[in-house]
Amino acid sequence: MADLPLIEADPEIAQCIADEEKRQHDKLRLIPSENYASRAVMEACGSVLNNKYSEGYAGRRYYEGQQNIDTVERLAIERLKSLFGVDHANVQPYSGSPANLAIYLAFCNAGDTIMGMGLPSGGHLTHGWKVSISGKYFNAIQYGVHRDDHLIDFDQVASLAREHKPKLIFCGATAYPRVIDFPKFAEIAKEVGAILVADIAHIAGLVAGGAHPSPVGHAPVISSTTHKTFRGPRGGMLLCDDAHKKAIDRAVFPGLQGGPHNGTTAGIAIAAKLASTNEFKAYAHAIVDNCRVLAETLLSRGLDLVTGGTDNHLILIDLTRKEVPGKVAAQALDRAGIVANYNSVPFDTRKPFDPSGVRLGTAAITSRGMGSDEMKRLGNWMADVIEDVENEAAMSRIAGEVKDLCDQFPAPGIPVH
C-alpha cells in the first residue's frame, strides 16, 4: 500500500489535485499573498527530505543521520544571508505566523507592551490584533493610517510609542499598497528603545529583487514568509543581526517548534538561489510595473483605490462609493475567472466579514510572464464585472476570454492540460 502511486492509493484526492491544477491554470490568480512556486521548489517539497527528523541546528542535532540535511540547511542560510545582506538567518519557522510568534517568545514576556499596525489599516493578525494570541497575551497597541490619504500615520506611531514604550514595534503589512518607510520606523523605535521588527511576508521577493527598499540596517529583526512574492515553498524565515541571533534561534527551537520541515528548507534554499539572479530582479520589477498599469486602468474606469494607487504588488479597491459590497464583487470576479479576495478598507463602514474592499496583487500573473497589455485587458474585465455584477452572460464570456489568455501564458510548475 505504501508503494502505490497517488492515483491508485487515493483517486479522490488525486482528482482534487488535478482539478486544482486546472483551476490554477485556467484562472487569473490575483490574491496578493499567492504565487506559483517554481517547479524546482515543488520538487524539493515532495522529496525524501520529508522523511527526516532534524531537531536542533546544523552540527548540533538531537538525531543522527543529518549528513545531507545539515548541508541543505546551511545552504539555505548562507544563500539568504548573502541575498539580503544580513548576519544571520533561521529557516525553520513553519510559516509566517509561527515566525512572528518566535519573535514574541524571543524578546517579550506575556503581558509586555508591543505595537503593530491594526488589521483594519492593513496590518497582520499577528501584529497584535485582539483575536490573535499576539493581542491576547500581550498589551498590544495598534497604530493606523490617515483618514484622508490612507498612508501610515507616523505622528500617531511616534506619539503612541512615546506614551506606551513598547518592547517591540512591528512594521510591515498584509494589505498596504505603498512603500514601508523603514528608516522612519527605525527612528521612532530608537527613540523609545524598542526593537523594530520588519515583517516583509508580502514583499520579500520585491526586497530581494530590489523593487522595494530593504529593511536591513533599519530593523535588526526581519520576519517573512517564503511563499508570497518570494515564490518559494510554504514556509517562514527570520533574518537578524548578530546581537539578536541567539535569542531568535532559541525561540524557534526549542522554544516553539520541534523538527523543521526539511523539504521546505530545501525549497527555501532553491528559492534564495533563484532570487539572486538577474531574471528574478526583472521579475520583481515587472510585478510592480504590472501593478501600476493595472491600478491606472482601474482608476481610468472610475474605481477608487486605497491611497489612490500602488507602489508594490498590491491594490486595494475601495467600493464604498459603489453600490456593490466587496464580497459580492469578489464572487462575481471569481465567476469571470478572476480570483481576488474581499477585504476591509481603512475606516470601513461595513463589517469585516462583509467589507467594502477587494484586494488583489500581481505576483502570480507576473510569474506567468504577463505584461502591461494583459494588465490593461484584466483591468477592463474587472471594471466590466464590478459595474454589472448580475450579468451572468458577461461573466461567462469574460471567463472564456480569461481562459484563452491563460492558455497563452502557462503557469510555472503546472503541467499543461
Judged by the rule CB under 6 A, the positions of this chain that interact with ligand PLP are: 33, 95-97, 100, 124, 126, 172-174, 199, 201-202, 225
Residue 81 CB, nearest approach to ligand PLP (Å): 21
DSSP state of 411: P
Question: Is 200 in contact with 183 (CB distance < 8 Å)?
Answer: no
Nearer to ligand PLP, 174 or 265 (CB): 174
Nearer to ligand PLP, 104 or 381 (CB): 104
Residue 178 CB, nearest approach to ligand PLP (Å): 14
Three-class SS state of 296: helix
Residue 304 CB, nearest approach to ligand PLP (Å): 23
The residues carrying an active-site annotation are: 53, 55, 199, 225, 228, 234
Nearer to ligand PLP, 44 or 303 (CB): 44
Measured at CB, which residue is nearest to ligand PLP?
96
Nearer to ligand PLP, 172 or 337 (CB): 172
Could you tell me where the DSSP H helices lie in 176-316? Answer: 182-192, 204-208, 242-250, 262-275, 278-300
Residue 383 CB, nearest approach to ligand PLP (Å): 27
* Closest by CA position to 30, among listed 370, 378, 364, 398: 364
Q: Quickly tell me which residue has 543581526 as its cell.
A: 241
Residue 173 CB, nearest approach to ligand PLP (Å): 6
Question: Is 304 in contact with 320 (CB distance < 8 Å)?
Answer: yes
What is the rounded CA–CA span in Å between residue 344 and residue 358? 8
Identify the burial level of 259 via C-beta atoms within 10 angstroms of its C-beta, where 0-12 means exposed, 13-18 middle and 19 or more buried.
Answer: middle
Give DSSP secondary structure letters for 229-267: TT---S-EEEEE-HHHHHHHHHIIIIII-SS--HHHHHH
Question: Is 42 in contact with 413 (CB distance < 8 Å)?
Answer: yes
Q: Helix-strand-coil percent breakdown of the chain, rounded to 5? A: 50, 15, 40
How far apart are the two ends of the chain, measured CA to CA in Å? 28
Residue 201 CB, nearest approach to ligand PLP (Å): 3
Nearer to ligand PLP, 27 or 359 (CB): 359
* Closest by CA position to 169, among listed 119, 113, 213, 124: 113
Nearer to ligand PLP, 174 or 290 (CB): 174
| Torsion from C-alpha of 286, 287, 288, 291, nearest 10 degrees | 120
Query: Strands 314-318 and 304-305: what pairing?
Result: antiparallel
